[in-house]
Amino acid sequence: MSTSRSVTLSRRGVLAAGGAVGIGALLAACGSDKGSGSAKSGAGSGPWSFTDDRKQKVSLDHTPQRIVAFTGTAAALHDFGVDDRIVGVFGPTKLKNGKADPQAGDLDVDKVTIIGNAYNQFNIEKYAGLTPDLLITNMYEPGALWFVPDDSKDEIAKLAKSVAITSSRVSLIKIIERYAELAASLGADLKAKRVTDAKTRFEKASARLRQAAKTHPVKVLACSGSPDLFYASNPGINADLMYYKSLGVDLIVPDHLDKAGYFESLSWENADKYQADVLLLDNRTATLQPKDLAAKPSWAKLPAVKAGQVTPWSSEPRFSYAGAAPLVEALAKAIESAKKVN
């Protein structure tokens, strides 16, 4: 994990401060092995290794049986069929009402131990008590393990080896493919119907978005709202936005990005700096949603808002075909129904 930065707030730093920037803004089933896509329960009799995106080869004398992962990571692995190995999670897992956080996807959050439900919450005693074989998480900044606290990372590292998958500056499809490779190494059957059906859905959604972008040329701004600032996100660094742009979506590129390159922070008085026809609004629980923003005059005056052309943006997407397909479909639908308002 990288050390904190003093010159500019990193993506992690803004999140820790209680801000609301997305990736680029602040900062499933049981059955037979082949039929369900579940990781084979018998796997683990031989040595296992995987080279992660730190270029580190992680080796164990058996396939990991007890995995602790960032919630979104666990959800992605679950989609690929790694169902019975995940014993613990950290990161946004449950909402205040006890229901699963959107980042948990189809993961059964009542069947895993939650060792931290928010940033900088990582209960080392609970983690140790799970006797983990492996910790898996995302990596938005080189060498930084997402949601593993800086002040306890060394102690955590002593308890189990870790795998990190790059989650920014690389297109969404490439990250999904990496998660598929990791899941396969853990025993998941990538030819299982649930996996292949999800991939087919993702491919159809992508074709639909490409066509929508071609026939409905509207300008789209990915953004996030906090009480004091409006964040315009960079489609050149966020994995999902990079992918959408590759399909032809006309995503606005902010011209005064933060030092890390994720977003431009604007005062609410300047929220209309970019002339967007459609707003992709960060929908994470830590960010302000349309109902929260309604009282801000500068938000209400935005042409896209007045036209009702605001669509949710899962700024920390689930890196699986099952997780990404609905997001691509939703953006395609939003663009298909949008009109130019600028």
Give me the domains of the chain, ranges plus CATH numbers.
39-189 (3.40.50.1980), 196-336 (3.40.50.1980)
pTM above threshold 0.95: no
What lies within 8 Å, CB to CB, of 22 at 6+ separation is 222, 223, 224, 231, 233, 238, 263, 282, 284, 287, 313, 315, 316
Give which of 269, 224, 272 is closest to 26, Cα–Cα.
224
CA atoms 247, 252, 256, 261: torsion sign: negative
The answer to whether 95 and 118 have CB atoms below 8 angstroms apart is no
Give which of 34, 45, 113 is closest to 74, Cα–Cα.
113
Q: What is the pLDDT of residue 13?
A: 44
Token pair 């026939």: residue: 215
The answer to whether 311 and 281 have CB atoms below 8 angstroms apart is yes
Q: Are strands 219-225 and 134-139 parallel, antiparallel or unpaired?
A: unpaired
Task: Tell me the DSSP string of 94-107.
Answer: B-TTSSBPGGGTT-
284-336 residue pLDDT tens: 878 999 999 999 999 999 999 999 999 999 988 999 999 999 999 999 999 99
Q: Dihedral through CA 142, CA 183, CA 177, CA 175, nearest 10?
A: -30
Q: Are strands 250-251 and 219-225 parallel, antiparallel or unpaired?
A: parallel
Q: Is 3 helix (H, G, I), strand (E, B) or coil?
A: coil
CA distance 53 to 143: 9
128 pLDDT higher than 70: yes
Stated length of the chain: 342
67 pLDDT higher than 80: yes
Strand positions, DSSP E, 234-302: 250-251, 263-267, 278-282
Give which of 87, 167, 173 is closest to 134, Cα–Cα.
87
145-169 residue pLDDT tens: 999 999 999 999 999 999 999 999 9
What tokens does 43 get? 């796997």
The answer to whether 304 and 341 have CB atoms below 8 angstroms apart is yes
The answer to whether 9 and 258 have CB atoms below 8 angstroms apart is yes
Q: List Cα–Cα distances, 129 to 21, 113, 116, 123, 136, in angstroms.
A: 33, 10, 14, 10, 17
Give which of 300, 319, 271 is closest to 76, Cα–Cα.
319
What tokens does 288 get? 């302000």
* Better pLDDT: 3 or 113: 113
22 pLDDT higher than 50: no
What tokens does 130 get? 């799970």
Q: Which amino acid is at 6?
A: S
Which stretch of 18-22, 57-61, 131-135, 200-204 has the lowest confidence by average pLDDT? 18-22
Which stretch of 10-24, 91-105, 145-159 has the lowest confidence by average pLDDT? 10-24
The answer to whether 321 and 199 have CB atoms below 8 angstroms apart is yes
The answer to whether 254 and 234 have CB atoms below 8 angstroms apart is yes
